[in-house]
């Protein structure tokens, strides 16, 4: 007799055949052998996503509370006045008309305010609900719940984890186009007790009356509107949630999963309204098989201001390769970069695509975290609406000239921002174009004379928000046992919290190879950089990578200074080689190799910076088959079987299948 898996509830129907159980964190799902897509390799991806959304949610609460506090101070510490309504009956309908007050401004920001024990919930697109006051007259803040949309949910594992592990979630909207995937999702949602229709069995110790368990939310709202006791309704809902928490949720996590079968873009386009059932959501997660480019416009449009976009792209052969520049341009609006920092360029190409799409709607992006991981890139970006901020995009976007020999990179932004003081003493910001190309020798590299290749357009701004990365670290350290991939998460977040905003990095081996010299010890290179006053950090993209604000010419001056003590064998270097030009170039900086106390990038604890593939064939899983593909596979299998047994069975060719369909029609 099998034991009921942890964090699940009894199914109304028997366990499905041809399925296997898969457990991850708080969630156990039935995984069909065919027809739905799930890659266990992405366990780390899902763990990181949960942690980032939890940290973002806390940051959002702090921002909303600060706005609420400022408005409370403007009112002199008094609770906000109740909204006066003028009711006018028209054909049996009642319409509420009111002038804009401080309450409406609060409503737009999605703030929940509690006066005494009375709850007044104000969320974007909803009317504020005022309950009776206990006379205390003390205002309290409570942040509104959030809604998450996963456009390509497959088995629903990620959506279920969001509902069970992220506090303050109201709904997770899980969508998929595949009927088999949606069928699997419905079963898994029911199995984990996070569905809308699910009612958990009432335990005797709770002593919850039957009418409490059966009270729908809509009836609860009507009771509030009709003047019912808010405290009683809240108590009922809390008791319901408490009972339903018996399915393995994290503390304070009471989200529900709504399933939709349909096109991802159409589903997101239907959530672009400011109010109503089609209102924007707070978090959108895109985790497609391949590129996310077709979904960007719809995703950015359905995110509320200050919302979070989490996006995965697995087409690194296009983003970080050198064979498909035309495909890279058509997907992301820029060509790939062939250099040792190509994976960082991949992140910047996706970020540029996001920024350009958002700018069309007067919205701008703020990169929070950007990772190149295994076989994919993962980005977490904040979306806000502010047309004046969009004007800075030209100065944050540009192309890069890359030397194919020595890897020297020259950035060419499309614009620049100039701040100057007017005659009246006010500061004015002007946006100007820039001269180009910045490479003085045109197509020749200034360091070695090699050919410069053009890449981009791409994002030239920062990829990481160091303070936000520290916030996520604090979040996972307090809940370490909840994440199976904790060590790797801590390592990646530590690198992100220290990573410099300057584009591109270098490795000691590649620099030494350019001049046919042995590689220098890393501490020696770092000491030279620090002694000259430059900043250093690791890059999460590659082991041994160093990011710095020093120019490339300084890096090669380090090699030229080292060559004075340990000469390079020039007889091994061909005449006219770029290496000869690098070594023969006069030095322009003074290099000091004195050991610096901070010249170390070693890890300090149990964090994992660069994980080695733990299993064979560690990479992307095969794409889930559609119904048409499965039917074709079944036909092929029947044909193979007929051939194998040597029978006289007639093969069901495409023509025969079409004839059958015509006859059935």
Q: pLDDT tens, 62-107?
A: 999 999 999 888 877 666 666 665 555 444 444 433 333 444 444 4
Question: In angstroms, rounded to a whole number, what is the distance separating the alpha carbons of residues 323 and 297?
Answer: 27
Tell whether 296 and 384 lie within a shared domain: yes
Residue 493 Ramachandran class (φ > 0 left, ψ -120 to 50 alpha, else beta): alpha
Tell whether 261 and 395 lie within a shared domain: yes
Tell whether 523 and 426 lie within a shared domain: no
Tell whether 516 and 632 lie within a shared domain: no
Supply 195's token pair: 């569905």
Q: Lowest-pLDDT range, 222-226, 354-358, 541-545?
A: 222-226
Structural domains in the chain (count): 3
CATH code: domain of residue 220: 3.40.50.150
Task: Determine the pLDDT at residue 89.
Answer: 44
Q: Are strands 86-90 and 93-97 parallel, antiparallel or unpaired?
A: antiparallel
Distance of CA 298 to the CA centre of its chain: 15
- Radius of gyration (C-alpha) of the chain in whole angstroms: 30
Task: Determine the pLDDT at residue 236.
Answer: 47
Tell whether 189 and 301 lie within a shared domain: yes
Tell whether 183 and 267 lie within a shared domain: yes
Question: In angstroms, rounded to a whole number, what is the distance separating the alpha carbons of residues 499 and 373?
Answer: 16
Q: Lowest-pLDDT range, 93-97, 271-275, 286-290?
A: 93-97
Residue 5: pLDDT band with limits 50, 70, 90: low
Question: In angstroms, rounded to a whole number, what is the distance separating the alpha carbons of residues 43 and 505?
Answer: 28
- Is 70 exceeded by the pLDDT of residue 625? no
Question: Which residue is listed with tokens 């299993």?
Answer: 615
**Phi and psi torsions of 410, nearest 5°:** -120, 115
Question: Which residue is listed with tokens 């890393």?
Answer: 522
Tell whether 373 and 517 lie within a shared domain: no
Expressed in percent and rounded to 5, the helix, strand and coil fractions of the chain are 40, 20, 40
Residue 289 domain-assigned? yes
Q: Lowest-pLDDT range, 108-117, 287-296, 340-349, 388-397?
A: 108-117
Task: Determine the pLDDT at residue 128.
Answer: 40
Please report how many Cα atoms fall inside a 13 Å half-sphere around the Cα of residue 391, on the Cβ side: 10
**How many beta carbons lie within 10 A of that of residue 569, not counting itself?**
8
243 against 427, higher pLDDT? 427
Q: Smallest Cα–Cα separation from 45: which of 623, 663, 626, 621?
A: 621
Residue 437: pLDDT band with limits 50, 70, 90: confident
Distances from the Cα of 151 to the Cα of 97, 375, 378, 384, 579, angstroms: 37, 21, 16, 20, 51
Residue 307 domain-assigned? yes
Q: Lowest-pLDDT range, 209-218, 376-385, 493-502, 654-663?
A: 209-218
Say if residues 255 and 164 touch (Cβ distance below 8 Å).
yes
Q: What is the pLDDT of residues 630-648, one digit of tens each?
A: 444 444 544 554 454 444 4
Residue 509 domain-assigned? yes
Tell whether 416 and 310 lie within a shared domain: yes
Task: Determine the pLDDT at residue 38.
Answer: 65
Residue 589 domain-assigned? no
Q: Lowest-pLDDT range, 176-190, 230-244, 478-492, 620-634?
A: 230-244
Q: What is the pLDDT of residues 20-71, one digit of tens each?
A: 888 888 899 988 776 555 677 789 999 999 999 999 999 999 999 999 999 8
Tell whether 578 and 646 lie within a shared domain: no
Q: What is the pLDDT of residues 543-554, one digit of tens each?
A: 999 999 999 999
Strand order in the sheet with 506-507: 506-507, 545-548, 536-538
Domain ends where: 408, 439, 459?
459
- Structural domain boundaries enclosing 574: 501-584
Tell whether 193 and 304 lie within a shared domain: yes
Mean pLDDT across the chain: 80
């Amino acid at each position: 007799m099998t034991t009921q898996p942890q964090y699940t509830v009894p199914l109304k129907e028997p366990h499905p055949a041809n399925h296997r159980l898969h457990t991850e964190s708080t969630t156990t799902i039935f995984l069909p052998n065919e027809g739905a897509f799930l890659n266990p390799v992405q366990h780390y991806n899902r763990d990181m996503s949960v942690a980032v959304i939890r940290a973002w949610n806390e940051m959002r609460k702090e921002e909303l509370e600060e706005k609420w506090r400022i408005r409370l101070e403007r009112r002199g510490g008094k609770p906000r006045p109740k909204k006066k309504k003028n009711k006018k009956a028209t054909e049996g309908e009642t319409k509420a008309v009111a002038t804009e007050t401080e309450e409406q401004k609060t409503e737009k920001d999605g703030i929940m305010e509690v006066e005494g024990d009375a709850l007044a919930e104000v969320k974007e697109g909803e009317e504020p609900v005022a309950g009776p006051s206990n006379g205390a007259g003390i205002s309290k803040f409570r942040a509104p719940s959030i809604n998450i949309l996963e456009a390509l949910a497959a088995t629903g594992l990620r959506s279920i984890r969001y509902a069970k592990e992220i506090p303050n979630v109201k709904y997770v909207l899980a969508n998929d186009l595949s009927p088999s995937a949606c069928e699997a999702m419905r079963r898994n949602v029911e199995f984990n007790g996070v569905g809308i229709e699910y009612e958990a069995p009432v335990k005797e110790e709770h002593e919850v009356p039957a009418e409490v368990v059966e009270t729908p939310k809509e009836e609860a709202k009507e009771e509030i509107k009709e003047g019912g006791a808010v405290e009683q309704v809240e108590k009922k809902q809390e008791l319901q949630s408490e009972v339903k928490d018996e399915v393995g949720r994290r503390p304070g996590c009471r989200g529900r999963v709504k399933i939709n079968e349909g096109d991802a873009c159409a589903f997101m386009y239907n959530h672009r309204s400011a109010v109503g059932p089609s209102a924007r959501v707070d978090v959108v997660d895109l985790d497609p098989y391949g590129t996310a480019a077709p979904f960007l416009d719809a995703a950015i449009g359905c995110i509320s201001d200050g919302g979070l976009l989490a996006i995965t792209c697995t087409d690194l052969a296009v983003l970080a390769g050198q064979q498909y520049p035309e495909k890279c341009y058509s997907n992301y609006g820029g060509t790939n970069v062939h250099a040792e920092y190509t994976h960082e360029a991949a992140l910047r190409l996706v970020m540029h695509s996001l920024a350009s799409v958002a700018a069309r709607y007067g919205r701008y992006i703020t990169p929070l975290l950007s990772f190149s991981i295994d076989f994919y890139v993962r980005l977490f970006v904040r979306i806000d609406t502010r047309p004046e901020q969009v004007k800075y995009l030209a100065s944050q976007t540009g192309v890069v000239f890359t030397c194919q020999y020595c890897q020297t990179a020259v950035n060419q932004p499309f614009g620049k921002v100039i701040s100057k003081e007017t005659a009246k003493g006010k500061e004015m910001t002007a946006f100007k174009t820039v001269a180009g190309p910045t490479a003085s020798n045109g197509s020749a590299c200034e360091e070695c004379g090699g050919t410069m290749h053009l890449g981009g357009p791409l994002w030239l701004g920062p990829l990481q928000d160091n303070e936000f990365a520290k916030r996520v670290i604090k979040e996972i350290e307090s809940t370490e046992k909840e994440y199976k991939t904790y060590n790797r998460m801590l390592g990646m977040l530590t690198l992100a919290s220290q990573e410099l905003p300057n584009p591109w990095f270098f490795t000691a081996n590649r620099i030494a190879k350019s001049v046919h010299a042995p590689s220098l010890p890393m501490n020696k290179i770092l000491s030279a950089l620090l002694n000259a006053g430059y900043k250093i950090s690791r890059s999460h993209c590659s082991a041994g990578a160093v990011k710095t604000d020093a120019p490339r010419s300084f890096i090669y001056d380090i090699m030229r200074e080292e060559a004075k003590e340990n000469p390079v064998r020039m007889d091994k270097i061909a005449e006219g080689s770029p290496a000869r030009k690098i070594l023969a170039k006069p030095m322009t900086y003074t290099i000091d190799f004195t050991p610096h106390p901070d010249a170390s990038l070693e890890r300090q604890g149990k964090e994992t910076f660069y994980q080695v593939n733990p299993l064979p064939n560690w990479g992307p899983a095969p794409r889930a088959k559609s119904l048409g593909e499965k039917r074709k596979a079944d036909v092929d299998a029947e044909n193979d079987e007929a051939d194998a047994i040597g029978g006289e069975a007639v093969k069901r060719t495409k023509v025969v299948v079409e004839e059958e369909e015509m006859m059935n029609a």
